[in-house]
Amino acid sequence: MTISTRFAPSPTGYLHVGGARTALFSWLYARKHGGQFVLRIEDTDLERSTAESVNAILEGMTWLGLEYDKGPFYQTERFERYNEIIQQLMDNGLAYRCNCSRERLDAMRDEAMKNKTKPRYDGHCRNRQVDPNEPHVIRFLNPEDGAVVVDDLVRGKVAFSNAELDDLIIKRTDGSPTYNLTVVVDDMDMDINVVIRGDDHLNNTPRQINILRALGQEPPKYAHVPMILGDDGARLSKRHGAVSVMQYREEGYLPEALLNYLVRLGWSHGDQEIFTVDEMIELFDIDAVNKAASTFNTEKLLWLNQHYIKTSDPARIAHLLSPHMGKLDIDPSEGADLVDVVRAQQERAKTLVEMAEISAFIYKDFDAYDEKAAKKNLRPADRKPLEAVQVALQNLDEWTREILHQTVEQVAEALEVKMGKVAQPLRVAVVGRAASPGIDDTLYLVGKEACLSRIERALEFITQREQNA
């Protein structure tokens, strides 16, 4: 039997972290077992579903590299099929019309709340012949006896008494089908045999199993994964920071870092922390997913992101970095080769946004010196080494890292000081702050003309400081 899983988001917002993890688990399970992964867009909530949200979901899936084998399928294009199944249930006496008023239903609910019992429909219309021409809903005739046992791949066996499940509505008064009906028909038609989803859907599962059995279908296997919590123990939400997958891209995270982080949210393989996608496919299994909720830890994600930035091909990082440079009004094609910049900064940045910010000085002048760095390294005593290195750099015919390193070294020797006494004032003059790649890398990437101009500016700054003393 070919394994077939699905990811079925509602397009009422962005692709969030919880959804992305569900998609990842479903994708990994299908890939591990040589199966198929289906993308389905559950867009029957016409008021809240938007084309922008559909695009955000598709974009998020593409960015994460979770390619699907079939789809995307849209539920709004399948209403005819849902109505066909509803009619089949009606014809077989497994569904019925109900015209109970809102007042009657509210009174029933109030009574149940007062008696501290679970609110459920009392089957009033089960044996009544409701006129199809008057406003009505259609309800599924749920079995009254026995129990539904969900043999969950994560939680184990979970039993639900049919007496606790009421006759749920499968078609609204306006003629639109409801979630539990559409999901059943889609899973049946798309040959889905493993459903991996959040545990907030667990209570829907016995209802869906009963409808499937009423249609003569064998239910899929279910795996309900626990929710993701913020570091305060509450369900992960916007107030915990970024929860949209594309927001992580905007903040300079790599897709492989987010995937690696998500796979470890509730699943583990010994003490291993770093997983390639191939390793995830080989090692992942749904029965190793924890039953307990997972806590999102941004520091851990940052650590992973830094690891991937450090160890990835500089050309790929440069490609991903380029848009972040653009947001700083920098065109990387005008100046140092961005791949060289990445090589110089790979060890120094946790995100691509940070890498862009600490690399901006290479392409454009900075507005002001870091106050602490200037106070320590642009003093009157630093004038002499700066003037000496300015002359030495001006006289260079070649601008290579090796020659630049030798030049700074030779100036230090001539002045009989340690190299840092020349390199650090030079770094602050050229970069504007006390931290940058090695001085030879820094000078090489900034270029001769800009370096000489910035040294001149630093000397003027020292003169101004002397005059104000």
Any idea which residues carry the catalytic annotation? Answer: 238
User: How buried is 392 (Cβ within 10 angstroms: 0-12 exposed, 13-18 middle, 19+ buried)?
Assistant: middle
Choose among 218, 30, 181: nearest CA to 94: 181
Phi-psi sector, 16: left (phi>0), alpha (psi -120 to 50), beta? beta
Tokens of 342: 């990445």
Tokens of 372: 């602490």
What is the rounded CA–CA span in Å between residue 169 and residue 179?
A: 10
Give me the residues paired with residue 70 across strands.
38
Three-class DSSP category at 307: helix
C-alpha distances out from residue 50 to 75, 399, 425, Å:
13, 55, 56
What is the rounded CA–CA span in Å between residue 135 and residue 139?
A: 13
Read out DSSP for 223-259?
A: EEEPPEE-TTSSBP-GGGS--BHHHHHHTT--HHHHH
At residue 304's C-alpha, the angle toward residues 299 and 308, to 5°, is: 145
C-alpha distances out from residue 204 to 150, 183, 365, 377, Å:
11, 10, 60, 67
What is the rounded CA–CA span in Å between residue 252 and residue 337?
A: 20
Q: CB–CB of 404/443 below 8 Å?
A: yes
Q: CB–CB of 94/141 below 8 Å?
A: yes
Phi-psi sector, 123: left (phi>0), alpha (psi -120 to 50), beta? left
